[in-house]
Structure 1
Amino acid sequence: MADKLEPIDSVDSLKEHIAVMRKAQAEFATFSQEQVDKIFYQAALAANKARIPLAKLAVEETGMGLVEDKVIKNHFAAEYIYNAYRHTKTCGVIEEDKAGGMKKIVEPLGIITAVIPTTNPTSTAIFKSLICLKTRNAIIISPHPRARKCTIEAARIVRDAAEKAGLPKHIIDWVPSPTIDLTNELMHSADCILATGGPGMVTAAYSSGKPALGVGPGNNPAIIDDTADINVAVNSIIHSKIFDYGMICATENNVIVLDKVYDRVKEEFIRRGCYFLEGDDKEKVGHTVIVSGSVNAKVVGKPAATIAKMAGVTVPANTKVLLAEVESVDPSEPWAHEKLCPILGMYRARDFEDALAKAERLIHDGGYGHTSSIFIDTRETKKLDEYENRMKTCRILINTPSSQGGIGDLYNFRLTPSLTLGCGSWGGNSFSGNLTIDKLLNIKLVAERRENMLWLRTPEKIYFKKGCMPTALDELGTVMHKKRAFIVTDKFLYESGFTRRIEDKLDQMGIVHSSFWNISPDPKLQDAEKGLEQLNAFKPDVVIAIGGGSAMDAGKIMWFMYENPDEDFSDMSMDFMDIRKRIYRFPKMGKKAYFVAIPTSSGTGSEVTPFAIITDVETGIKWPVTDYQLMPNMAIVDTDNMMTQPKGLTSASGVDVLTHCLEAYVSMYQSDFTDSFALEGMKLVFKYLPRAYDDGTDVEARDHMANASTLGGLAFANAFLGLNHSMAHKLGAFHHIPHGLANAAILTRVMRYNAAEKPTRMGTFPQYSYPHTKARYAQAARFCGVTGKDDDEVFENFLAKITKLFDYVGVKHTIAEYGVDEKYFLDTLDDMTEQAFDDQCTGTNPRYPLMSEIKNLYLDAYYGRPASAYEAE
């Protein structure tokens, strides 16, 4: 088999590639499930790592969509698709019922031709390549002419990683410059066609004489019933409609509102930054978007204000969605069509029957078989039954933003994730529902919105109160019968004799011990690697990390590498959208050693969290590593260990605690359980931090600040954090501002940003039904004793209270005041911004940030510019 082939530039060269691919695929078809799964895993990892550069390349080349949203699509295409199929058997016997006499054996189809659209050029290439790898098929990709570079780059990244993992060469290939002749030959030569694109391309695929899996157009009519939660309905539709500027085919294209709530719905759209067109403006935009019965390619994936300008209409620059009130559902009405941009027609329905009739007509004339959605009180079972029976669509979404909901596994976890959405026989397609690796039937799916389960995870044991350490350590000998203890700390604590109390107790119990004390204040991966050598030589059965967050975090990393020497740190530090769906899975900890965390400062809460922050000095990247396997087994919070904190550390660690509590309280993962920790923690900070700062020997103040730190840790260990920490991590990595002070320098600005009434976007997870972060902050403020006539006033008074506390404990107000050079700050700003956007903490922020917004927050915090309301721009 030829290792190298000439590029495909003619029908003859294409035939040569196909012949070589057939031989390679025949070899691939003999691979075991273990071999296939290894290839699938490495390919998904590689695609996930490249999500941001691929998103940038797609927007740069096509001029469509938004980088930040394409990052989500790429992340979804790698992580969620991998998670959906990582345990699925696709080789040999996949099911056997001996009693019933049934066996299922699977074999690959052969060579798959994949037509990739310009709307989702990288995510679809990732998705189709991965499912072909999982099923042992070869794939040859035909990119859209306006998205060749980014599509080919996505395929190349997947191919190279797969081949490195053992995939035979020539399994993934592409046509660099598709022509009509080459496309016809592709369809003729393949064993199956995955056609995603315009109607002409899909029709050609079905007419090729080969099996084809193509998709029809969508024209989702979203009904808002008079029993619906208006906030949830309107904000879900906006959240969906502005996602990548409306290019997902499942998105709502028209909204049908029952008469009783019509005016309230319209008011909510306007309040949230949408704009209703009237008169000639409505006609101008309608005929700009729809030309000769089809969507104008020039408007696809463009912002609302840009489209208005193209039509010669002036609207506010920050307009999220353009709407028009329309009556006709006839195809002659431009607003009744699929639009692929943030444009929405709005119909008034006399009653539920009228709404159903309008929805049926809109589907029939442009979205048959695709997607329909409804917002309704789910106790209205008769209405729902009627709706489900009459909608001829393969996805019926209830109380769900349909762009994100239709692709599956985000707002309903039984709806299979996919970036190819079939319309069944209703839409002239050969399959229905979301394309899976084995679905070829017409199936009607009803997906009702669900919030994923949350959790409360803590160490097995938490000891607290002044003087508790000897009693807690006693368990290592009397209960657990440990023999060898390894202490991880920093040089100052070791040389000052700070660890002597632990060593004396271990000696008393006859536990042999050794220590590693070269942990830097900002812990480095290289420190942990040096400590690991000593750890491996000593072979302890208990690891004790004592110090600030640096020692405990480094200890966690050393513990992990000691227990799992073959694991790759770059894999364990991989970001995830959802900790339950991450590609990399942490192995079970505790096989070799029990882990004890003992804090000596009241700040990080690391003693009770699954987080470890560590910096790779070779790359300069500060990694927040997260998994519940890193949760300490025992936490010992003894105030005796914290009585010598200097003023600077008391201040920095104290404001860090407040940030932990505030971010956990408004996180996308907050719950009643985490709220209790967060509220009590921040209340203790306001009451006792000034006392601890004034008098370090104040035992009561130190005791309560120690508790506040641990309470904050318990809160964000389960609710996670947000954008404030993402940005602070980068200030520490690039400019070495102590973590607590970095948090404080930007806290009130991030709070204003999160509390904006018209945010650009909500976070992706469905825990927040609609923007209400200001109300959450106001609840926290009232718990801490702040008053006011309404939420707005309480919020402003809360910010003033925080600022007063920061002034009292000597916290500076700007980044510049910490001695950060202006030129270096501006030189690193873009890198900081992108890394903060990609930081693990960003995903659970209540407001999904654009990189431009993060950049402005950094600039505001550096120059001390007056804080604005940070409304959508």
Structure 2
Amino acid sequence: MLDGCSWRAWVVRALVAGIGGAGATAHVATASCLNGSRLTIELLMPGVPCPVSLPANGVANGGGAAAPADAPKKQSPKVHSVASEEDLVTLHNLLADAQEAQAKYSRFTQEQVDEIFVAAALAANQARLPLAKMAVEETRMGLVEDKVTKNHFASEFVCNKYRFEKTCDVIEVDAPGGVTKVAEPVGVIAGVVPTTNPTSTAIFKALLALKTRNALVLCPHPRARRCTIEAARIVHEAAVAAGAPRHIISWIEHPSMCISQALMQSPEISLILATGGPQMVRAAYSSGHPALGVGAGNTPAVIDETADIQMAVSSILTFDNGVICASEQSVVVVDSVYDKVREELVRRGCYFLKDEEEKDKVRSTLIVDGRLNADVVGQSAVKLAEIFGLTVPEWTRVLVGEVDRIGKDEPLSEEKLCPLLAMYRARDFDDAVQKADRLVMLFGAGHTSVLYTSPLNRARIERFTRAIKTVRVLVNTPSSQGAIGDLYNFHLDPSLTLGCGSWGSTSVSTNVGPRHLLNIKSGIERRENMLWFRVPPKVYFKGGCLEPALRELKGKRRAFIVTDKPLFDLGYADQVTRILDTVNIQYQVFYHVAPDPTLACIREGLSEMNEFRPDVIIALGGGSPMDAAKVMWLMYEVPDIKFESLAIRFMDIRKRVYEVPELGKKAQLICVPTTSGTGSEVTPFAVVTDESTGMKYPLADYALTPNVLAHKLGSAFHVPHGLANAALISHVIRYNATDRPLKMAAFPQYQFPQAKGHYAELSDMLGLGGGSPDEKVIKLIEAVEELKRQCDIPPTIRDILGADKEGEYMAALDEMAENAFDDQCTGANPRYPLISDLRQILKMTAVGKSWATRRTASRACSDISARSGLDTMGVSVPARAPRGGGGAR
């Protein structure tokens, strides 16, 4: 019998004892608990227990005191699905095959690896659409179109970034420095794949493994098994066809929690790439192997009073139903623009929860038993509303809840992974930063944050960057697409594994790339210390050089001459002053330098120098005047310099701890030696004596060297391109003319929906009339239809192909829509289309003789409007058109 505290100890003893004996692979142990329940624990192998879930009494998940004796009898503990001996043998064989393949692959050259890498990326890119469809069908999360984008990103962008990066053998050579860097693969990598981004993550991890000569064993999420395996299979087959060893990419066919644990704890694994929920990531880090995991995201977007509100709101509205961990979860808006931002959100298709009753419906469903409800993840806003028991318009893109609290008592402030935003009002920018920081530190430390402000607000940008503890601080950038890199800033590495640093309890604070999957060896050869001969920029020598050298000082105003008394008395200073007189330079002579100049002498000369304020200093004499002049110059240029720091010892003058600022901003130093042999005129050295102690201080810094020395329809049915365009153009104009598209093209230059405005401008240029932009767009479409009628252009596809072809055309709608979506140019359309929208537009070209003259066409267009957020134009449409397809009235 086990009490609430001793069952763990029993498990430990069972493990240590190696239940079942050596060589056993799976064992079941049973013990009786005090409450009468039976505790069944499966041991996958000695040291690898399958996770056990216990009831919420004293013997609970988190442990604690035992339940009272009179406590009601609880349900028996729930035990996770067990891993059979067959499963474990299969895993063992899988890992053995992976090891063998990796050993072969590790001997491939960079050229072979690059060829395999590009071939695999190309195959993944070509399969981006079917993989996206499969992912949505299987997981019931996200949007096909956005998953296409992510698959495209994971293949094309990653390939483009890393195709020329050296990852094999010698990657860097510094021959003079004696350093050679060699890249070696880490071995067999375990790749844990989430249900939210399954195919793109599998592609990304597989490509990174191929680029770095590693083997990869993928463990799919059970809810995304088929699509993940298909993505891996496509990459693997392409790699093998290009020459890679078979089994270099492999996967677990029947994933479970137990098998995941066994994989991560297997000694054959060298590194774990963990992408998934917090528990999975923690398990990876606790496996005993190096792990690269991600952290939870709870991205706040701050909008201040100087931000471009249209761009900010258009950027914040979510991508792929919010399943990317970097997606915006909250919006914090400065009070002075809060109402404007709210209006813009409504205009763009957001539904604001009306009252506390609606918010409570959301709260009670969003978080269940302390965890995010998996049923809401990756669902559309309309589907979410249905789950929450709300009624919203069919065009709703995002649900927004206005709240004040931040914390575990406010579910809306947590990570939601769906198109549901919390919105906070901040008093000012400082309050907004504080709220954002609390959101980050409570639920998403280290991940991503966003600031929308004027690009000119450098101080605010810097303050936000310093204050927020996230490793990605985005400015005026959509977080879900911006954080993964290479879309809105091309210096952020493309990645689908985003490190969060120590703040997020992860091992890296960057976007994971090939370098993280390599062991870099450095070959270090013995080298002697470098010698450096540095002299003044100008050296004048030979007899008579003094006068031309000093004449180059023309333009200077005041010269301070440092010499000793004997030279002054003998008239040598006069030879200098005479030349200075000819170039109109004022001068003052300091001649109190004694042999072995003292600090007192330096201070005296510095005092006179500060009063005279020279722009040139001339040292005349032997070593002592030049030493004194150098130190005076240094202290004149840098008044707060500490003599003790300057005099500190060093091993290498170029590596000294105390760095002397660059000199010459106030004055130029000229040395005129009168003796031979000291070399003080060409060196960075000076010697000064402390007269109180008799200590000589050799000062050295290159700053002391003197300046001058006087020494990507028509193809499916063969319709001509122009005719196909004419049949479609009115529908396309109507489709694009909206201020609240479901999706926008991912171009940084296209900041907010502008197509309707541009169509209205075109209508004005043509003098078509109309009051509102909507009316002007209708006038433009009517003019286009009239022009087509005048040019005898058939108004519909039925008229172009003939009635006998209509059935064939309608049967091909799905294929044509997918092909249109996958066209190279589709991404540049101002309104990024869904495949279903393209199908509807193609269908509309066949159902009426004119865009604005058939109820069916109008109704079809309205269907798109209601579902996708298209604006409703208040223009009546005639029930019947004149025969011949005349223009709309």
TM-score, normalization by structure 1: 0.64
The 2-side partners of 1:285 and 1:860 are apart by: 38
Which of the residues 346, 350, 353 maps onto 2:427? 350
Which residue is equivalent to 1:679? none
Which residue is equivalent to 2:113? 36
Give runs of aligned pairs for residues 613-632 of structure 1, distance below 5 A: none
Higher helix share: 1
Which residue is equivalent to 2:504? 427
Residue 384 (str. 1) matches residue 461 (str. 2) = yes
Which residue is equivalent to 2:320? 244
The 1-side partners of 2:103 and 2:779 are apart by: 70
1:86-143 deviations in whole A, cap 9, x for unaligned?
Answer: 1101011111222333221110000000000000111000000000000000000100
Residue 151 (str. 1) matches residue 228 (str. 2) = yes
Which residue is equivalent to 1:843? 827
Indicate conservation of the 8 Å contact 1:218/1:368, yes or no.
Answer: yes
Give runs of aligned pairs for residues 271-290 of structure 1, distance below 5 A: 271-277=347-353, 278-290=355-367
Letter in 2 for 1:794: K
Letter in 2 for 1:156: R
Which of the residues 290, 304, 307 maps onto 1:228? 307
Which residue is equivalent to 1:493? none
SS at match of 1:422: coil
Report the alpha carbon displacement of residue 735 of structure 1 after superposing the two structures with TM: 2.3
Indicate conservation of the 8 Å contact 1:757/1:871, yes or no.
Answer: no
Report the alpha carbon displacement of residue 845 of structure 1 after superposing the two structures with TM: 0.7
The 2-side partners of 1:251 and 1:376 are apart by: 19
Letter in 1 for 2:430: E
Indicate conservation of the 8 Å contact 1:74/1:123, yes or no.
Answer: yes
Which residue is equivalent to 1:262? 338
Which of the residues 742, 748, 751 maps onto 1:769? 751
SS at match of 2:443: coil
Letter in 1 for 2:157: Y
Indicate conservation of the 8 Å contact 2:395/2:865, yes or no.
Answer: no
The 2-side partners of 1:9 and 1:773 are apart by: 60
Letter in 1 for 2:448: T
Report the alpha carbon displacement of residue 172 of structure 1 after superposing the two structures with TM: 0.9
Give runs of aligned pairs for residues 565-576 of structure 1, distance below 5 A: none
Which residue is equivalent to 1:203? 282
Which residue is equivalent to 1:291? 368
SS at match of 1:141: strand
1:661-701 deviations in whole A, cap 9, x for unaligned?
Answer: xxxxxxxxxxxxxxxxxxxxxxxxxxxxxxxxxxxxxxxxx
Which residue is equivalent to 2:514? 437
Indicate conservation of the 8 Å contact 1:301/1:341, yes or no.
Answer: yes
Report the alpha carbon displacement of residue 439 of structure 1 after superposing the two structures with TM: 4.4
Indicate conservation of the 8 Å contact 1:191/1:211, yes or no.
Answer: yes
Report the alpha carbon displacement of residue 802 of structure 1 after superposing the two structures with TM: 1.8
The 2-side partners of 1:247 and 1:144 are apart by: 15
Give runs of aligned pairs for residues 305-704 of structure 1, distance below 5 A: 305-439=382-516
The 2-side partners of 1:318 and 1:141 are apart by: 38
The 1-side partners of 2:299 and 2:788 are apart by: 51
Which residue is equivalent to 2:170? 93
Which residue is equivalent to 1:456? none
Residue 179 (str. 1) matches residue 243 (str. 2) = no
SS at match of 1:306: helix
SS at match of 2:173: strand
Which residue is equivalent to 2:793? 811
The 2-side partners of 1:790 and 1:440 are apart by: 58
1:302-326 deviations in whole A, cap 9, x for unaligned?
Answer: 0111111112111112210000110
Which residue is equivalent to 1:855? 839
The 1-side partners of 2:240 and 2:85 are apart by: 20
The 2-side partners of 1:734 and 1:388 are apart by: 52
Indicate conservation of the 8 Å contact 2:394/2:866, yes or no.
Answer: no
Letter in 2 for 1:249: C
Which residue is equivalent to 1:740? 722
Report the alpha carbon displacement of residue 784 of structure 1 after superposing the two structures with TM: 4.1
CA, structure 1 residues 778+161, in 2 after alignment: closer, same or farther (shift >3 Å)? same
SS at match of 1:132: helix
Report the alpha carbon displacement of residue 806 of structure 1 after superposing the two structures with TM: 1.3
TM-score, normalization by structure 2: 0.63
Indicate conservation of the 8 Å contact 1:760/1:872, yes or no.
Answer: no
Report the alpha carbon displacement of residue 211 of structure 1 after superposing the two structures with TM: 0.1
Give runs of aligned pairs for residues 162-177 of structure 1, distance below 5 A: 162-177=239-254
Report the alpha carbon displacement of residue 349 of structure 1 after superposing the two structures with TM: 0.1
Report the alpha carbon displacement of residue 786 of structure 1 after superposing the two structures with TM: 4.2
Which residue is equivalent to 1:500? none
State percent identity of aligned pairs.
Answer: 53
Residue 193 (str. 1) matches residue 272 (str. 2) = yes
The 2-side partners of 1:287 and 1:101 are apart by: 64
Which of the residues 112, 128, 133 maps onto 2:205? 128
The 1-side partners of 2:213 and 2:838 are apart by: 42
Which of the residues 734, 743, 758 maps onto 2:740? 758
Report the alpha carbon displacement of residue 794 of structure 1 after superposing the two structures with TM: 3.1
CA, structure 1 residues 796+838, in 2 after alignment: closer, same or farther (shift >3 Å)? same
Report the alpha carbon displacement of residue 763 of structure 1 after superposing the two structures with TM: 1.2
Which of the residues 46, 49, 52 maps onto 2:126? 49
Letter in 1 for 2:816: M
SS at match of 2:514: coil
The 2-side partners of 1:402 and 1:833 are apart by: 29
The 1-side partners of 2:390 and 2:777 are apart by: 37
Indicate conservation of the 8 Å contact 1:293/1:334, yes or no.
Answer: no
Which residue is equivalent to 1:727? none
SS at match of 1:65: coil
Indicate conservation of the 8 Å contact 1:754/1:847, yes or no.
Answer: yes
The 1-side partners of 2:167 and 2:351 are apart by: 49
SS at match of 1:433: coil
1:484-522 deviations in whole A, cap 9, x for unaligned?
Answer: xxxxxxxxxxxxxxxxxxxxxxxxxxxxxxxxxxxxxxx
1:165-204 deviations in whole A, cap 9, x for unaligned?
Answer: 0001121111111234422221123100000001111001
Report the alpha carbon displacement of residue 9 of structure 1 after superposing the two structures with TM: 4.4
Q: Which runs of 5+ in 1 are unaligned?
A: 1-6, 442-719, 721-729
Letter in 2 for 1:103: T
Higher Rg: 2
Which residue is equivalent to 1:21? 98
The 2-side partners of 1:159 and 1:338 are apart by: 34
SS at match of 2:185: coil
1:553-580 deviations in whole A, cap 9, x for unaligned?
Answer: xxxxxxxxxxxxxxxxxxxxxxxxxxxx
Report the alpha carbon displacement of residue 783 of structure 1 after superposing the two structures with TM: 3.9
CA, structure 1 residues 759+291, in 2 after alignment: closer, same or farther (shift >3 Å)? same
Q: Tell me the matched-pair count.
A: 576
The 2-side partners of 1:59 and 1:792 are apart by: 35
CA, structure 1 residues 9+770, in 2 after alignment: closer, same or farther (shift >3 Å)? farther
The 2-side partners of 1:42 and 1:8 are apart by: 37
Indicate conservation of the 8 Å contact 1:756/1:871, yes or no.
Answer: no
Which deviates the most, 373-382 or 787-796? 787-796
SS at match of 1:839: coil
Report the alpha carbon displacement of residue 385 of structure 1 after superposing the two structures with TM: 1.1
The 1-side partners of 2:289 and 2:87 are apart by: 21
The 1-side partners of 2:733 and 2:246 are apart by: 52
Indicate conservation of the 8 Å contact 2:847/2:857, yes or no.
Answer: no
The 1-side partners of 2:502 and 2:134 are apart by: 36
SS at match of 1:169: coil
SS at match of 1:106: strand
